Structure 1
Amino acid sequence: MDGTEPVPEVSASAKRISLVSPLRAAIRIRRRIRTLKKTNLQLDLSGRKSADSTKLSVVRRQFSTERGSISSFDAPKFFNFDTPSLEQVALSSLQRRKKRKRSRPVLYPGNGKKYLPIEHKSKAKRCLILFIGIVCLQILNAIENLDDNVLKYELDGLEKTMQREVFGQKIAIDKIMDILKDYLATHWHNKPLVISMNGPSGVGKSHMGRIVAKHFRSVVESDFVLQYYVMHNCPNDSNVATCEAELTNMISDMVTRAEMEEKIPIFIFDEMELMPPSLLDTLQGYLKLNQSNEYLNAIYILISNIGGNEVTKYFLQNVSSDVLNVPQELHHIVQSSLRQHHSIWDVAEIVPFILLEKSHIANCFLDELLREGLYPDNRNVENLAGELKYYTIRDKQYSITGCKQVVAKVNLLHPYT
């Protein structure tokens, strides 16, 4: 005996038992994993795992540790339990589906007819067209109402009367008619209309005022037309305060009655150059904008000789150049003269009247002879026209007094005078 302890020999049966017992344990674990996969494992295809998947991971860790312990033994290399899991199978099937979706077959168009896509009509477009149609009808109706309101005053007849009875004032007639048509197109206004007729004596201003008064008396009744002559209604020796009270009562009463019947009253003031300043101030109070509605719907015609000398001077200086082409300059000259007299003309539409030629004076005599029932002899008419005084410039003659003396001359020819 050399002192070494003898090594106990392990029998073959003991070695076989030591290899079989861990192998059986591995087989049991593997079977348990398979049963868990078949019964409880649910794979979320969106990438999220259920609560059982966490249990499966824990079991796999345990199996890996036990398998590591088994690998310490001399296990045979050909014995392999690595089979594809259910999770891998599901992922592979999902990838196949994606590949199938990507590789869709190409579809070619058939031999049938091709049609454009149907356009669906919007109901909002129909409503818009209907709204536009309603607005157009309303505009047309408003225009017709304006025409009806103008026809109510028969301004065409007034214009024909002016052209027939007032001679040599075509520009003044056209301007007055344009102003009246614009104002009388509607009944509601934001300010009263003020027309100022200015020019030398005898050129037809007062005659124009009488024609307007006569026409509107036949159209809107005589109760809504006032002719105010300063020398007659308020002479120099009268009390101005009484004239102011009378004028105030006449205007207020006429305006109130006209508003009730929806008519526009007309006030014609002649001989304005003789009106006292205080009475001009009273009249100016009715021409302002900040008044009640009934005072805004009215027409005021102011007739005066103010600016007549300026018109005559300008006309004679510019007779070589056609004065009909420079009415704007003549308007400014008259306007400056009127503003120096009183501020009532600041809101007025100024209509200048020009000088009359000798042919116009002859027409005045002819018209007056027909009115008096006398025979209109052309030679007699020329003789009467030649008795008046004229401005002679080049080949033209312009009357100094206009048609002012025509009536007196014709009265001398009357057999009963």
Structure 2
Amino acid sequence: MAAGRAGGAGAAMPRAAALLWLLLPALAALEPLSVGLAIGAASALTGFLSYPSFYCSYVECCPGEGQRLNASALRAQLAARLFGQHVARDVALRAAAGAARRRSPRKALVLSLHGWGGTGKNLLSQIVAEQLHPAGLRSRFVHLFVATLHFPHRHLVRLYQEQLQKWIQGNVSACPHSVFIFDEMDKLHPGLIDAIKPFLDYYEQVNGVSYNKAVFIFLSNAGANLINQVALDFWRSGRQREEIQLKDLESVLSVGVFNNKNSGLWHSSLIEKNLIDYFVPFLPLEHKHVKMCIRAEMLSRGHPVDEKVVEEVIEEMTFFPKEEKIYSDKGCKTVQAKLNFHWDAVMRDAKAES
């Protein structure tokens, strides 16, 4: 891993100075009066080019103090794109909006998202990142780490810890509002994540850098069985899914992942020191939620919703428990692939009829 790049409107000043330097040979050939006028014009031009609002319209800049997360836009995006996750949606909105309102937060915002694959953990982290940095995962200020890709070898844990600390320090120095997403936390080697504890703690600064405006998001399958059991217990007792609240799951999750050697947070100091602000549960998805995913995918491809295709796709998906078949065992994860197959068949039939 390399250290982070410097960013922000301040980088425009060296570029503007370089432009003026390139103009000097041409200016030297002019008459004295013309030289004075040309230098004035060049200075004005470089000053204009280095003005933050102009520069940042072409090059991504770190958000300034006056730029805040738009809670209404975040709420709308979560409602439109994240299905069946009322607990996760409400927690993410409250946490992100609350952190954005504070001019001087006491610590970085830390969210730990838990649930089976395909339930929306990656999507939620993507939506939050997009609201903080419009380029989302493509932003130079949003950093994604995948455990099996970036930290594959157990015997290199100490090296990974050093690299991770340098990477975070470099990038937060460049942009205090940096976002760090750690995927596959359940595959992360025990103890590795503790390296970032100083950046999550209640310190005003660490080595001259404040990390209190940064956002850290952990994604994990650990604790999914605990979440699924709570959801199933509610269903079997005749209670509505929407009655499930964060308090029904958060303490169970924190204890469960702390004692789970395959959680990435096994006996972690981040839990011991209460540095994770929210353990966010993602509930297993029901038939109606998977159908929402299928319809949304159709619309995203520019196709009208075909309910016949929706039913054909849902028929191919598997659900649990074996007797009740309430919840999708893969969430919405295979929707794209299955829709590809069925949509190709629809298009072939349409061409044959024409």
Q: By the TM > 0.5 criterion, same fold?
A: yes
1:150–1:184 contact (8 Å) kept in structure 2: no
Residue 316 of structure 1 aligns to a residue whose secondary structure is: helix
Change (3 A) 1:246 1:170: same
Matches within 5 A, 1:25-104: none
Q: In 1, distance between residues paired with 2:331 and 2:140? A: 32
- Percent identity, please: 26
1:335 corresponding residue in structure 2: 254
Aligned with 1:347 (options 272, 275, 291): 275
Q: In 1, distance between residues paired with 2:154 and 2:192? A: 14
2:147–2:183 contact (8 Å) kept in structure 1: yes
2:68–2:101 contact (8 Å) kept in structure 1: no
Q: Does 1:156 align with 2:69?
A: no
Q: Does 1:232 align with 2:149?
A: yes
- The Cα offsets for residues 254-306 of structure 1, whole Å up to 9 and x where unpaired, read as 111124xxxx2221111111111232121233222235161222211111111
Structure 1's consecutive aligned runs of 4 or more residues displaced over 6 angstroms after TM superposition are: 148-151, 393-396
Deviation of the 1:150 alpha carbon = 8.5
Aligned with 1:256 (options 163, 173, 182): 173
2:162 corresponding residue in structure 1: 245
Aligned with 2:312 (options 365, 368, 383): 383
Aligned with 2:329 (options 400, 405, 412): 400
Deviation of the 1:241 alpha carbon = 3.6
Aligned with 2:189 (options 258, 276, 286): 276
Deviation of the 1:219 alpha carbon = 7.5
Change (3 A) 1:158 1:244: same
Higher radius of gyration, 1 or 2: 1
Structure 1 vs Structure 2 CA RMSD? 2.9
Q: In 1, distance between residues paired with 2:316 and 2:167? A: 43
Deviation of the 1:224 alpha carbon = 2.2
Code of the residue aligned with 1:279 in structure 2: it is: L
Aligned with 1:371 (options 283, 300, 305): 300
Residue 181 of structure 2 aligns to a residue whose secondary structure is: strand
Q: Does 1:203 align with 2:128?
A: no
Matches within 5 A, 1:172-211: 172-211=88-127
Q: In 1, distance between residues paired with 2:343 and 2:76? A: 29
- Of the two structures, which has the highest relative contact order with CA contacts closer than 8 Å and spacing of 6 or more? 2
2:242 corresponding residue in structure 1: 324
- The Cα offsets for residues 365-398 of structure 1, whole Å up to 9 and x where unpaired, read as 1122233344531011111012111136998822
Count of equivalent residues = 266
1:149–1:186 contact (8 Å) kept in structure 2: no
Deviation of the 1:326 alpha carbon = 4.1
- The Cα offsets for residues 159-195 of structure 1, whole Å up to 9 and x where unpaired, read as 2111111100122111111111111112312221111
Q: In 1, distance between residues paired with 2:321 and 2:154? A: 41
Residue 218 of structure 1 aligns to a residue whose secondary structure is: coil
1:190–1:289 contact (8 Å) kept in structure 2: yes
Q: In 2, distance between residues paired with 1:403 and 1:219? A: 24
Q: Does 1:361 align with 2:286?
A: no
Q: In 1, distance between residues paired with 2:114 and 2:106? A: 25
Q: In 2, distance between residues paired with 1:211 and 1:232? A: 23
Greater mean deviation of Cα atoms: 270-279 or 151-160: 151-160
- The Cα offsets for residues 90-134 of structure 1, whole Å up to 9 and x where unpaired, read as xxxxxxxxxxxxxxxxxxxxxxxxxxxxxxxxxxxxxxxxxxxxx
Q: In 2, distance between residues paired with 1:210 and 1:238? A: 31
Residue 225 of structure 2 aligns to a residue whose secondary structure is: helix
Compare the two structures and name the one with the higher helix fraction.
1
1:62 corresponding residue in structure 2: none
Q: In 2, distance between residues paired with 1:274 and 1:152? A: 34
1:312–1:354 contact (8 Å) kept in structure 2: yes
Residue 330 of structure 2 aligns to a residue whose secondary structure is: coil
Code of the residue aligned with 2:85 in structure 1: it is: Q
Q: In 2, distance between residues paired with 1:403 and 1:208? A: 14
1:98 corresponding residue in structure 2: none
Q: In 2, distance between residues paired with 1:176 and 1:366? A: 24
Q: In 1, distance between residues paired with 2:118 and 2:157? A: 28
Unaligned runs of 5+ in 1: 1-147
Change (3 A) 1:409 1:222: same
Deviation of the 1:323 alpha carbon = 4.3
Q: Does 1:170 align with 2:99?
A: no
TM superposition score normalised by structure 1: 0.58
Code of the residue aligned with 1:155 in structure 2: it is: A
Q: In 2, distance between residues paired with 1:294 and 1:215? A: 22
2:319–2:325 contact (8 Å) kept in structure 1: no
TM superposition score normalised by structure 2: 0.68
Q: In 2, distance between residues paired with 1:405 and 1:298? A: 33
Residue 210 of structure 2 aligns to a residue whose secondary structure is: helix
1:192–1:299 contact (8 Å) kept in structure 2: yes
Code of the residue aligned with 1:205 in structure 2: it is: K
Deviation of the 1:413 alpha carbon = 3.7
- The Cα offsets for residues 291-325 of structure 1, whole Å up to 9 and x where unpaired, read as 51612222111111111011111211221223433
Deviation of the 1:249 alpha carbon = 2.0
